Structures are given as C-alpha cells and as structure tokens.
Structure 1
Amino acid sequence: MAQVDSLDRADIGGLARRGLFSLGGAAISAIASLLVIVVVTRGSGKTEAGNLFSATSLFVIAESLCALGTATGLVYYIARVRALDRGDGVRGLLRTALPPVIAVSVTVAVLMELLAPSVAGMISDGSDDTLVIFIRVLAPFLPCAVLFDVLIAGTQGFHTMTPTVLLEKIGRPTLQVALLLVAMLVGENWLMALGWVAPYAIGLVVVTGAIARLVRKEKHEPVTLRVVPPSEFWRYTGPRGIAAVAQLTLQRLDIVLVAAYLGPRDAAIYTAATRFVVLGQLGSQAVSLAVQPKFSELLAKHDLASTLRVYRTSTAWVMAVTWPIHLLVGILAPIILLLFGSGYDEGRWVVMVLAGAMLVATGCGMVTMLLVMAGRTTANLINVLVALGANLSLNLILIPRWGIVGAAVAWAVSILLSNILPLVQIRRSLGLDPFGRSSAAVALLAFAAFGAVPSIGWLLGGSPALVIGLCVVGVLLYGAGIWRLRRVLDLDSLITPVLRRLR
C-alpha cells in the first residue's frame, strides 16, 4: 500500500472550498429548518404540532427505507468509476439503482394511504383524525422525496456541491417555511402537511435536469457490459440501506415513542428541543458531503497516508464548525427554547444531554462515512443495529420513568455507540484515527470561548443579557483563535487564493 501522502495544497484547498460552499448552504438550511419548527409551534397548538412532527418522522423513516441504500452507493461508485477513468459506467449505475427504488417507494406510498388509520391508532389515542389526515397527505409524495434524495446524492459523486447546496440545503427548507406560513394563514390543518412535503416534488424536477447534464458530460462508449455489475452494487448498498433506515430510526423513532407514551404535547416539546442538535449535524454534514468522494478515491488507490491527512484535517474542520454550536446551545438552552413559545422550556435538559453527546460524536470525525467508503458496509450495519437496539430498549425503559429526558438519554447513548464502535474498527483495520494537533487545538479554543466565558454569566446571577453578551465575547475570541490556527487547520490553501484575488 502507498505510504506517501500524495495530496498537495490544491487538493486540500479544493476540499476546503467545497466544504465552505456546503457550509454556507448548511447555515441557511439550519436557519430554515429551525424556522419550520418555530412556525409550526407558534402557528398551531401543541397537539397539532405533535401530530405533524410524528407524521413527518414516519415519512422520513419510510423515505430512508425506500432508498435501499442507493444514495451512498451512487456517491461511492460514481466517484470510483470516474477516479479510474471509466465515466461510461455512470449510466449503468443509474439503470441499476433507480427502477427498484421507484417500485418500492410507490408500493410503500400505497400502503401508507391504506394503513393510515391503523398506524395513527398505534401512536395516538384516536381522539381526533388529524394524524390520519397528515399521513394521507404525505403518502403520495413519498416516491418524489426518495428520488430527490437519491439523485441529489448521485450529483455528489461528480465532485459538485451545487445541486446539494442550492436544492437540498437552501431551496427545499426555505420553500417549506414559505408554504407553512401560507398554511397557517389559511388555517387548514392538512395544508401544513402539504406545505412541508410539496418542495420535494418541485426539487425532483430540478435535480433530474441537473444529473442529466452531468451524465451527458461524461464520456460514453457503446459497451454492453456494465463497469459495476448490479450484483456488486447491491452487495454494497444492501447493508447500507438497512443501516440508513436504522440511523434515521435512531433520530426519529423517539418522537413517535414519546407521542405514543406521553401524548402529542410532549412530542412537540421534545421535537423542538432536539432540533438544536440538528443544527450541529448540518454543519458536520456540510464537511462530510465535500470530503466523501475524496475518501472513496483515496481508498480505491490504497493511499492510506493521504486518507489519514484528510481524515484528521476534516475532523478539525467539523469540530471548528460544530463545537461552538453545541456548546452555545447547551449554555443557552433555557433562553433559546423561548423561541417556540410558552411551555417549551421544559425541554432544556433534553438540549443539554444531547449537546454533550454530540461533542463526543463530532470529535470522532466522519468515522462512519470513512468506514462505509472503505467498503465495510456490513460492519457499519452491525454498529447501527447495536445502537438502535440500545436506543429502543432504553426508550421503552426510560420514557415512562423520566419522560422526554429519558428519550434524550436513550438517544445520547446510541449516538456514543454509533461513533465509538466504528472508531475502534477503523483504528484496527486501517490504522487511522482522527486525533491530531489541529483537533486538540480546536477543542481547547472552543471550550474556552463557549464554555468558560459564557459560564461566568450564569455564575454571576444568570441574567440573559449578561450571558448573551459574554457569548458574543466568546464569538470574537473564537474568531481570533481560528485565524491564529489557520495554518494548523490547513485553511491557508483556502484563504490565500481569496486574499490574492482581493488584492
């Protein structure tokens, strides 16, 4: 295996530029996603909000199930066939992946329509039919949502982030906010579900044209044998498909269980509190989407030295983006939950528990994605199933005893398992780990700026104005510290060309 780091500053700079572009989209997506929750919680009662969150959680789990793991499979194989100069295999990959996805998603959509009353009866007490209406409005759009996600992932294999950022990160959540506002003004409950799901159909039209243009640019030779045999593609994507469903279930099933055990009111509070965890996840995903094809290429060439450098550098980038968010969310939990209206501050302990778990998770870097890009989809599946089993067991035990805090503890444990298990496997099989000088520097800086400094405000009486003011001081200190660490974080390759253009 190659032991020489083959990356140059241009490679790191390209990854940084794609990551920064994706990060900008993720920031807009985070704000829009938070606004979706704010609009729903402030524009409707807790019962209606809880029912909508439960219905959309079921929809997202079904969406992941119907994708059959093809989103990751397309990124993995498109990047590989292009790295090996076999771009003619892209069409074959799409012909392999899309027909089964369409067939399964249509079937599940029909079942959702037919079984909506039974599914709603298992979650709610049946006192109203709002949940049934929400499920039936969402169901016809399931094939559109699945194809949208799969094709968006396919474009990432071409090393372009433009469709992902413009359509998935900016377009869809922003349009959801606009349509939900219209639904609130009209005052019809079913329009809330329609406003949430309709952007998938609009986005599908646009992304279909985008991937068609990318495929046309690839060289195409009249070959009868596909570069990647369908059997190989499905052997890779099969375990990944099950793992993807399990991962989405980890993030969404607790909402459904809270609604079933405690009612839609508590489900609304729990959903609002957990959305702040998603803010940090979006930042992590922004870097992940930019780096994922590069991992596939480097591992295809068995270049472990370059893979280690990208892994450690990208981990520091992820921490630099997400640790300020998780620390601030934990510190400011009693204040920021007021955004959703009265009564939602009951979720402050949920926020703090999950924020702590996410600090550990992001400190492991993109370990799950690296495991998958190394072809270890079966190991990834086992990890996710272990985490899901722990999550489900703890939810059943802790929700009746501790309420929404119990659900948060269950999710936190599953988050830790989902990251620590693959971390051990990557270390043993490839000799790679995310721990380096850059990540240690970011950790110390983040704790100082967003842990120590704002905590002074709580120690001095907890005035919201004082705490927020100290958070602003922390932001300034953090910005100055990141600038001092720019060489350690390999950001010079991004900053230098920008400064040169400005001059």
Structure 2
Amino acid sequence: MGEQVLPQNTAVRSPRTARTTVLTFASVLCGAALAFGTTLFVGNQVGETGAGMFFQIMAFFSIASVFVTFGADTGLVRTLAAQKALGAATQLKRTTAIAALPVLALACLTGAALWLSAEALETWSGLAGLSDVIRAISPLLVPAALMNLGFGAMRGMGQVAGFSAIQNVLLPSTRFAAVAAAIMLGGTLLQLAASWAWPVLLAAALAGGAAWLAIEKFNRSAPVRPVAEPSAPPASPAKQFWGFSSARGFSALVETLLEWIDVIAVGVFLGPAAAGIYGAVNRCVRLGLMLEHTARLVTGPMLSASLATGRQAQAKLLFSNTAKLLVFCAWPLYLTLAIFAEGVLSLFGAGFAQGAVPMAIISVVMMFAVSAGGVQSMLLMGGKSRWQLGNKLCALAVAVVFNLWLVPAWGLLGAVTAWSLAVLVDCGLATVQVARVMRFGAPVRELIPLAAISLLIFGGGGLLWRVFLEPSLLAAAVHLAVAVPIYVFACVRFSERLGLEALVRQAVQLLRKRQARAA
C-alpha cells in the first residue's frame, strides 16, 4: 500500500497529536521519578537490608506477571495497530479475545499454584514470613494480567497518552502512597509487599475499561471496506497471534529475568543488605532506560503500521530519529550517573555509596547500548520476535554463568560485570540483525556530533566539578545546574549541524501523517 494523500484537515489535527506525544513523554518521566522516589523512600526508611528484601519481592511479582501475560500485550500492540491501519474493524474484538482467554486462564492456574506452594517456598528460601507474602500477592496475578492486556490494547488502538497516564502516573503514585503508609504502620515485609502489589487492581480496571471503549469507538466510526477473497486459505488468527506472541512471551520473561537476576544473585550470595545496595544501582541506571521505553511507546504502533502497509521509508525515518533522540537525552544522564555515582547513591543512605563503582561501569555500558536506537522495537514490530527471543536467551545465559562465577568472587563488581556483558550481547546481536537483515542501520555519522557535545559538556564539565567539589551530591547538583542550560543553548545554536532541526521537522510530518490516517 503506497503513501496516501493527506487530508486538508491534517494541519488542524496535528497539534493534538503533538500534545499527546508531549503528555506521554511527561507521564513517563513522572513515572520514572515516582518509581525512583519509592525506592529512595524505602532505602532511607528501612535501610539496605529492608530495601534488599523489598527489591526481591518486586522481582518475584514482576517475573510472575510477565510470565502469565506471555507476550500477549505486545501481540495486541502489533496486531491491533496493523488491523486498525488496514481498516479491519471487525477483527479487533476477536483478536482481543484470542489474547485474553489463555492469559487469564494461565494467571488463575499460576496464582493457585503459588498459593498452594507458599509454605514449601518459604522453607526453601529460609525467609521468614515469605508464605504470607506469597498468599497476599498471588491472587493479584489475574488483575496484573488484565492490566497488561489492557495496556497492550490501548497502545495498539493509539491510546498511548491514556495508557501512559495509568501506567506511569496513577500506578506508581498509588504505590508510593501505599508503601509510605505501610512504612508508617511498621514496614513489615508483608506490609511492603502488599502495598506495592495491590494498586494493580485499580490500574487493571481502568486499563481494561479504556481498551474496551477504544475498540467500541473505532468499530462505530470505521468505514466498512470490501474484503477480497483470499487466493489461499488464510492461517488461523489464533495461530498467527500466538506464533508471534508466544515467542515474545518467552522473550519478555527472559528480559525480566535479565533485569532482576543480578539482584537475586547478589541477595543469594551476599545477603539482603548487598541486594539493597545493588538494587539501588539498578533503579538509578534504569531511569535512562525509561527514555528507550518512551520511544517504544510512541513509535511502536507507528512502526507496526508502517511496516504492515509497506512504508519502508517512514519506518527507516522513525528508526533513525529514535537513535538520535536517545543519544541526545540519555548520554547526559548516564555521564552524570557515572561521574557522580557516590553522590547520587548517598540519597538512599550512607551505606549505599558502596555501589558507586558498579554504577559508573554500567552507566558507561548503557551509553553504548542506547546508541543503537530502537533495535528491540524494530525487531518486535517487524515480526521478528523469535530473533529477539534468541538474543535474550544468549544474554540470559551470559548473565547466569557470569553471576554464578563472579558474584561469589568479586561481589558487586562481579554482578555488574555480568550485567554489562549481558547488555552488550543482547544489544550487539539485535543491532547486527536489524542492520544486515532488515536493512535498518543506525545513523552513525549523525550520532557522532550529538555524542561529542554530550561528552564535552557533561563528561568534561562533570570531571572538572568532581575535581573541585569531590563526587558529592552538591557537586552533581551544581554540575547539572550549569551543564543543562549550556547543553540546551548549544543544541539550539547548532541544531542544523547536529541534525536536530531536521529531526523535529520530520517528527512533525510523521505526526501529521499518523493523525491524518487516524482521521
């Protein structure tokens, strides 16, 4: 399907789309700040040991939630966005049912299995009170699965701002409030776990309702299009959907294990206090990954629609712009975290500064990872979920081997080494596949000026402040107060040479095209 002529009302509607994108980005930043604030509050109130136990409960619930969803949320993003772009309104509810029924059944079975095995898990782990925690949160796997399905359907239907408001504002804010109340009431492990997990009930209700309303609205307003008779019997919709989503489900589970496996390994080998310190490092570094997450939210449905309708040039433009934006936004953050690691971690309490060297190492590694752009989103929206699964399995194998080998010998340094190697393996494989097979290469020449200006202002400037003021929290604050205005001025002044002016212009054009097709 070729490019379509834009309607005359495109210019009128595009500001609303631009506002949606801005609101989405703002809500993701808000969610990152709230999640970071929750971690910060827990660390200061219950110390390294309490924080370590809290992080391990977060890991348990996160892994279980991803397992029961089994990739159906991403399958809904890809399938509903493509069906909407092709005008297949009658298929939307059927696709949603194909996704929801197996997921909710699996969530019920998994929750019941965890409930029945709670005592055995407590005995195996040696953690007193774990059985009560498991019984408190295992029934929540069903609403957690419904929440994830609702999020996927909202994204696939183009309700990105609403999805982001629920996931990144409502859910983390209610969690923060609930965790704060739990700590005031005593801060036991059961209270912390329940307060962090139970807000998914509200999020599930809102996400499921919003997704259903979006599908109903599109069904009422979409024009009826004639459907040509297929030349060959089509594949089963369920087989098509789960052929993609099952691979994504394994991949997402592996991805979640990659996020938490080093924290778990540190807790097993070094104890909950070390897990608390390392968990704080993990949370700080993942602030930067929220930028990549934002890029996935905004560009994922557009990439799926572009690839489904054969608009390769638009897909390449989205991919290129994503790489530029990630370098532009993420490099300053990671440079600041690397240079002022001690000061940043001191926010959590005096004992957390022991994680400064690991945080500096992984921050530098993440700078290279984000430079690859949205390679993960390109694989997913291009239907290459099995490729991504293979990449994640390779990275998980690296993480498991090196965590088992290095954490007992090197402690936190061993954990961050394993994490760094896993990130490089995953990102490296995806980059090669997207560049050589899918023919979407990162704009290296255009990224060099953006990287250079970040290194000069945030890298060189940060090292100077570190020498004069030591790596304290005050030095980090002064550095940011000086560097951010200079960075913004330099980027505006040299926007044409840096490619930012063209990036903004092209982004506006894409938003106008997207809104025109939605109209």
Give the TM-score of the pair, scaled to structure 2. Answer: 0.88
2:491 maps to a residue whose letter is: I
1:181 maps to a residue whose letter is: A
Counterpart pick for 2:467 among 459, 463, 487: 459
How many Å separate the matches in 2 of 1:143 and 1:42? 32
How many Å separate the matches in 2 of 1:376 and 1:108? 28
SS in 2 for 1:257: helix
How many Å separate the matches in 1 of 2:329 and 2:16? 18
Q: How many matched pairs?
A: 491
How many Å separate the matches in 2 of 1:288 and 1:88? 27
Deviations 1:106-135 (A, max 9, x none): 111122222233334444xx2x51333333
Partner of 1:266: 274
Q: Report the CA distance between 1:451 and its aligned residue.
A: 0.6
8 Å CA contact 2:337–2:359 kept in 1: the answer is yes
Map 1:9-408 onto structure 2 (within 5 A): 17-123=19-125, 126=126, 128-189=127-188, 190-219=190-219, 229-408=237-416
Partner of 1:426: 434
Deviations 1:82-119 (A, max 9, x none): 11111221101111000110011111112222223333
Partner of 1:416: 424
Deviations 1:359-418 (A, max 9, x none): 111100110110111111111111110011001111000100111221111111111111
Rate the CA distance shift 1:302–1:495 in 2: closer, same or farther, 3 A: closer
8 Å CA contact 1:55–1:131 kept in 2: the answer is no
SS in 1 for 2:174: helix
8 Å CA contact 1:298–1:307 kept in 2: the answer is yes
Let me know the Cα RMSD of the aligned residues. Answer: 2.7
8 Å CA contact 1:261–1:399 kept in 2: the answer is yes
Out of 236-245 and 324-333, give the one that drifted further. Answer: 324-333
SS in 1 for 2:340: helix
How many Å separate the matches in 1 of 2:63 and 2:357? 26
Out of 80-89 and 389-398, give the one that drifted further. Answer: 80-89
2:329 maps to a residue whose letter is: V
Out of 93-102 and 313-322, give the one that drifted further. Answer: 313-322
How many Å separate the matches in 2 of 1:79 and 1:437? 32
How many Å separate the matches in 1 of 2:24 and 2:182? 30
How many Å separate the matches in 2 of 1:324 and 1:26? 18
How many Å separate the matches in 2 of 1:197 and 1:18? 29
1:57 maps to a residue whose letter is: A
Q: Report the CA distance between 1:5 and its aligned residue.
A: 12
Q: Report the CA distance between 1:193 and its aligned residue.
A: 1.1
2:504 maps to a residue whose letter is: L
Out of 358-367 and 17-26, give the one that drifted further. Answer: 17-26
Q: Report the CA distance between 1:218 and its aligned residue.
A: 1.8
Deviations 1:474-498 (A, max 9, x none): 11111112323555222246799xx
Please state if 1:481 is matched with 2:494: no
How many Å separate the matches in 2 of 1:318 and 1:15? 21
Q: Report the CA distance between 1:76 and its aligned residue.
A: 0.3
Out of 298-307 and 411-420, give the one that drifted further. Answer: 298-307
Partner of 2:230: none
Rate the CA distance shift 1:240–1:227 in 2: closer, same or farther, 3 A: same
SS in 1 for 2:219: coil
Out of 408-417 and 459-468, give the one that drifted further. Answer: 459-468
Q: Unpaired segments of 5 or more residues in structure 2?
A: 228-232, 510-519
How many Å separate the matches in 1 of 2:4 and 2:359? 41
How many Å separate the matches in 1 of 2:78 and 2:212? 18
Please state if 1:470 is matched with 2:479: yes
Deviations 1:177-216 (A, max 9, x none): 1111111111151221111011111111111221121011
8 Å CA contact 1:89–1:228 kept in 2: the answer is no
Deviations 1:230-289 (A, max 9, x none): 111111111111011000000012211211111111111110111111111112111210
2:382 maps to a residue whose letter is: A
Rate the CA distance shift 1:283–1:19 in 2: closer, same or farther, 3 A: farther
SS in 2 for 1:345: helix
Rate the CA distance shift 1:171–1:226 in 2: closer, same or farther, 3 A: farther
Rate the CA distance shift 1:12–1:206 in 2: closer, same or farther, 3 A: closer
How many Å separate the matches in 2 of 1:285 and 1:457? 31
How many Å separate the matches in 1 of 2:15 and 2:318? 11
Partner of 2:454: 446
Q: Report the CA distance between 1:335 and its aligned residue.
A: 0.3
How many Å separate the matches in 2 of 1:6 and 1:318? 31
8 Å CA contact 1:81–1:89 kept in 2: the answer is yes
8 Å CA contact 2:47–2:349 kept in 1: the answer is no
How many Å separate the matches in 2 of 1:448 and 1:420? 26
SS in 2 for 1:432: coil
Out of 312-321 and 359-368, give the one that drifted further. Answer: 312-321
Rate the CA distance shift 1:6–1:242 in 2: closer, same or farther, 3 A: farther
Give the TM-score of the pair, scaled to structure 1. Answer: 0.91
Rate the CA distance shift 1:28–1:83 in 2: closer, same or farther, 3 A: same
8 Å CA contact 1:453–1:471 kept in 2: the answer is no
